[in-house]
Amino acid sequence: MQLATKKAPPANIVLPHYAFASVAFLVLTILLFFSADSFVGHYFNPKLLTLTHIAVLGWGTMIIFGSLYQLLPVILNSELYSNLFARLTFYFWGLGLIILAFSFWTFSIGFTIQLASILLFVAATLFLINIIVTALKAEKLNIQSEFIVTAALWFWITVAIGILMAFNLTYAFLPKEHLFYLKLHAHVGVAGWFLLLIMGAGSKLLPMFLLSTSVNEKKLTTAYYLLNAGIIGFLVDSLFFNGISRAIIYLIIVLAGIIFFISFIYEAYKNRARKDLDIGMKQTFYAFIIISICMISSVLNNVTILKSEAFSQQVTLIFGVSIFIGFISLLIMGQTLKTLPFIVWLNKYQKIAGKGKTPLPKDLYSEKIANWQLRIFIVGFILLLVGILVSTVIFIKIASLLLIVTALLYNFNVLKMLLHKTSVQPFPKNN
């Protein structure tokens, strides 16, 4: 008999990650409103750096940490190596992010950014050790765990490049220009950390949520090797053979990997027994539609013939916004409604389920609010893309107001779940 959920860490380790991430999302959208003019200039500016790091570290990574601590013991059927490491990772990462965001916003490139990068690096190292040792303890590894462990390794490398860049701002010891390392940092972070992690976790969760009976795992394996080959090729060629101009080759390899993964998900979707998609899964599938915008903009960004300075800036911004505010945010919002109710439900009802009538995980949030959150998000996101394309600040401001409303609605549901009070009714007598 498997006892998967009993191997997960206590809820008080997992849930603070969700709380922190949802507040980070709200802060992100508010700062977006006050940074609207930054979207019509060069992407390397203090406000956009602040927004990107809040999106990536506070919103995306924080929620990944929390959900992974819950998911990994299930995937590996093995307890998390260290709950203490998980707690320390949360505190170091949270504090590091707050200091980093302050440093970028005020462009304090000295002590504060170095302190922030050290805190983040310590957190990333603790996280990596926790994931690797947990995987080593497992009796059997599978493709999902390989995705997750490799993603954790790329995550650590991304943060390591980040700490080097933070110190390089003051001491300028790196041999190449700062933007070169920024490209490595961003590409390894997006493809190595986010994409591999999303693929690893998604390939386990999505067929399960859809009740898909047969899916071809060979597609996953192919996606895994293509993605890693693309990232390693890009990194090695850029660092040692001055080949950053050949990035398009590695991009195509990574895109091929993404196509294999999307094909896997599509197969799961086609073979699903559960025909009605709930609001969490709807958001997840819209997120996968948005990834096509990311793929197109990433190719455009690398096609030299189309490159004018202004167009290149816009395409880079469209890519960044589509991946962080579009794809990752929508995916997180959707998967929050699939994972958080389950985690809260387990915490409140696991020991009493079967002794009376309990609410179901889906009863722990408001579906109506979640529907409005999705609609407003879609309008806000499209308006944001249009605002960037036509370089119109007022569109970006209206879009960010809509995204603030989205974040407020999302926070309402997260808070509703986190503050849920246990309620058990007796079973009806005739049953």
What b/e readout covers 262-273, taking b as 16+ CB neighbours within 10 angstroms? bebbebbbeebe
Name the segment binding another protein (CB under 8 A); options: 238-246, 250-258, 287-295, 348-356.
348-356
Calpha distance 25→32 (Å, rounded):
10
**By CB under 8 A, residue 211 contacts another protein:** yes
Give the residue with the Cβ less far from another protein, 196 or 215: 215
CB of 74 to another protein, least distance (A): 4
The site for another protein, by CB under 8 A, has a size of 34
CB of 424 to another protein, least distance (A): 12
- List the structure tokens of 178: 């700062």
Instruction: Tell me how far the alpha carbon of residue 29 is from its chain's centroid.
Output: 16
From residue 95, give the alpha-carbon distance in Å to each of 104, 110, 347, 414: 14, 17, 27, 22
Looking at residues 234 to 273 of the shown chain, list those that interact with another protein (rule: CB under 8 A): 273
**By CB under 8 A, residue 425 contacts another protein:** no
If we measure between CA atoms, which residue out of 188, 355, 202 comes closest to residue 267?
202
Calpha distance 328→56 (Å, rounded):
9
CB of 341 to another protein, least distance (A): 9
What b/e readout covers 223-232, taking b as 16+ CB neighbours within 10 angstroms? bbebbbebbe
Give the residue with the Cβ less far from another protein, 140 or 309: 140
**By CB under 8 A, residue 275 contacts another protein:** yes
- Applying CB under 8 A, among 170, 350, 422, 423 the residue interacting with another protein is 350
Backbone angles phi, psi at 272, to 5 degrees: -75, 145
CB of 6 to another protein, least distance (A): 6
- Applying CB under 8 A, among 172, 354, 394, 419 the residue interacting with another protein is 354
- Applying CB under 8 A, among 60, 334, 361, 380 the residue interacting with another protein is 361
The number of CA neighbours under 13 Å toward the Cβ of 209 is 24
> CA quadruple 248, 249, 251, 252: dihedral positive or negative?
positive
- Applying CB under 8 A, among 42, 218, 355, 375 the residue interacting with another protein is 355
**By CB under 8 A, residue 18 contacts another protein:** no
Burial class (CB in 10 A: 0-12, 13-18, 19+), 419: exposed
CB of 209 to another protein, least distance (A): 7
Looking at residues 19 to 38 of the shown chain, list those that interact with another protein (rule: CB under 8 A): none
Give the residue with the Cβ less far from another protein, 203 or 228: 203
**By CB under 8 A, residue 207 contacts another protein:** yes
Calpha distance 230→391 (Å, rounded):
33
- Applying CB under 8 A, among 34, 91, 311, 427 the residue interacting with another protein is 427
N residues, the chain: 431
If we measure between CA atoms, which residue out of 404, 413, 422, 423 comes closest to residue 19?
413
Name the segment binding another protein (CB under 8 A); options: 40-48, 80-88, 208-216, 390-398.
208-216
Calpha distance 8→66 (Å, rounded):
11
Calpha distance 214→267 (Å, rounded):
8
- Count CB atoms within 10 A of the CB of residue 306: 12
**By CB under 8 A, residue 162 contacts another protein:** no
Looking at residues 282 to 321 of the shown chain, list those that interact with another protein (rule: CB under 8 A): none
Name the segment binding another protein (CB under 8 A); options: 10-18, 223-231, 353-361, 402-410.
353-361
| Apex 73 CA angle, 128 and 407, nearest 5 | 75
Tell me, residue by residue from 38 to 77, as one string, x for binding to another protein by CB under 8 A and - for no binding.
---------------------------------x--xx-x
- Applying CB under 8 A, among 213, 245, 422, 423 the residue interacting with another protein is 213
- Applying CB under 8 A, among 147, 209, 234, 261 the residue interacting with another protein is 209
CB of 80 to another protein, least distance (A): 14
Binding site for another protein (CB under 8 A): 1-6, 71, 74-75, 77, 204, 207-209, 211, 213, 273-276, 342, 345-346, 349-351, 353-355, 360-362, 427, 431
